[in-house]
Amino acid sequence: MLSMSQKTNHGNIMKKKYFKVLNVFLVLLFCLSGVRLVYAGLPVNVDGQALPSLAPMLEKSMPAVVNISTSKNVQLRDNPLLRDPFFRHFFKVPKQQQQKNSLGSGVIIDKEKGYVLTNHHVIDKADRIMVTLSDGRNFSATLLGADPEADVAVIQIPANDLTELPIANSNDLKVGDFVVAIGNPFGLGQTVTSGIVSALGRTGLGIEGYEDFIQTDASINPGNSGGALVNLRGEFVGMNTAILAPSGGNVGIGFAIPSNMAMTLKKALVKHGKVRRGLLGVVTQDLTPELVKAFDLRNSQGAVVSKVDKGSAADLAGIEAGDIFVALNGKEVKGSHQIRNIIGLLQVGEKVEIELVRGRKFKTVVATIAKPQIIMVSGEKLHRVLSGVELTAAAKGQIEGVVFSKIEKTSYAWRSGLRSGDVIVSANRYRVRNIKQFKQVIDPRRALLINIQRGSEAFFLVLK
């Protein structure tokens, strides 16, 4: 007869045997059903069988992910007098510059033409772009086009025998799918991290102008920017672009631009060098419970049109304030951010089919995306010291203000040191974001104090 301690030991032994048999049974069951077990952490150890590994897939995928290094000359901050072109010329003061280097990653998407996809912020304002392949070859790259608002750029290298990544349909991704991030963090060479898709369609983060991110817990570090997010078949599903952490380190929240969005932008960048975005001409807002009740809607999916610009594409298509957008080009609308993203991927002249609810009726309209109207004002109409200049509002993605789009070399503004591209961010100590605000705070009878933003520099200038 067994004692209490012997019974306890015997019970523990039986439990261990039971769970061991159950574990082997489940593994065999998954193997027989054709399901391959892959874990972000440690794999299952099955005696007599090879451990699950991502190595075969990575051997094919990693050569398509390249290292990108850039260099650019940065103007050093100096005495305000040295910014005056006449002072510099008279005293023959050399330009004070410093070379700045950065590292990132890129993905080969066309091996025949040498196209490499990367982030705009990786190559932004670079004087030189160098690409290093996994086999050690180095090439000087040419920038074909960039889109700052979506943080996408395409560069080209003159290389043969390249490996490209097959492109997957990112719309097929589901939360929980395994993904692998490949990149070049901190210039250490190619690095791989694994995880899952944590969320889809992330917007409103304020990271980029156009956001439709894949969220993943695969570690994405600064050097991974522009690298590839691939599925377990080694197909390109997204481009690593950002992390969300107070310290800048990885805390399991990384974001990637979906492959469908990146490839749509790539076509425009290769063809035009930029994304020629048009306008629909509406202002929309998310549906709140109060608005759903007020509009007597059956569900809260969609976005309500709060304003239609007169003469815009939306106006010509018959869209009215109070219409509820429920789908664009067959894609269900969940909120106003989604409308911005869909329209932002369309080019001038393309058509968009809009399904909307007006009252209790469903309606479908087709609008043709129009070219943005640029409001240009002659400077002399605003102030005598601005004679010979043309002013426009800053484009989307730029700092808000009034831009000197054109300055005649014989004008007072030119002699004062102003140049095309300079942005007025304040006038007479008032913040100005557009031409209307600028006009309201200036007095044509008095001197004009303006704060100018020029690249990374800023300075005040008095015109009188």
Residues catalogued as catalytic: 121, 151, 225
Read off the tokens for 1. Answer: 């007869």
What strands, in cross-sheet order, belong to the sheet with 115-118? 138-140, 128-132, 65-75, 97-110, 115-118, 152-156, 142-147
Query: Cα–Cα distance between 276 and 372 in angstroms, integer?
Result: 9
Cβ contact 459:83 at 8 Å: yes
Cβ contact 305:224 at 8 Å: no
Q: Are strands 228-230 and 236-243 parallel, antiparallel or unpaired?
A: antiparallel
Dihedral (CA of 403, 285, 238, 269) sign: negative
Strands in 31-114 per DSSP E = 65-75, 97-110
Query: Cα–Cα distance between 249 and 125 in angstroms, integer?
Result: 25
Render the burial of 255-292: b for 16+ CB within 10 Å, e for the rest.
bbbbbbbbbbbbebbeeeeebebbbbbbebeebeeebb
Coil/strand/helix, residue 283: strand
Coil/strand/helix, residue 453: strand
Coil/strand/helix, residue 337: helix
Read off the tokens for 364. Answer: 């479908």
Q: Alpha carbon 60 to chain centroid distance?
A: 27
Residue 31: φ, ψ to 5°: -65, -45
Query: Cα–Cα distance between 308 and 413 in angstroms, integer?
Result: 38
